[in-house]
Amino acid sequence: SYADRFADELGLAPLAGGFKQRMGELAKEERMIKSDPNLSGPQKRAELDAIRQERIELAKDLINERAGR
């Protein structure tokens, strides 16, 4: 059946949905930081670096979850 053939992919659907949502939130945060006139350059860089690191970790988690199935 379809569910049997694609069980792994179907099992990842909730994780992928959460991944997409969080990535969207991070993009929104990034835009807000870039346009914030009250943050200095170094403050913006630190915040943007933290967002980049979170994106990397989210992607690694998704890859590891998929590899584990």
> What pLDDT is stored for residue 63 in this prediction?
86
> Mean pLDDT over residues 22-34, rounded?
97
What proportions of the chain, in percent to the nearest 5, are helix, strand and coil? 85, 0, 15
For 39-54, the pLDDT digits (tens) are: 999 999 999 999 999 9
Enumerate residues 6+ apart whose C-beta is below 8 A from 23: 55, 58
CA dihedral 22, 69, 67, 15 (to 10 degrees): 0
3 state DSSP class of 6 = coil
Q: How far apart are CA 41 and CA 48, in angstroms?
A: 10
Of residues 20 and 48, the one with the higher pLDDT is: 48
> What pLDDT is stored for residue 4 in this prediction?
55
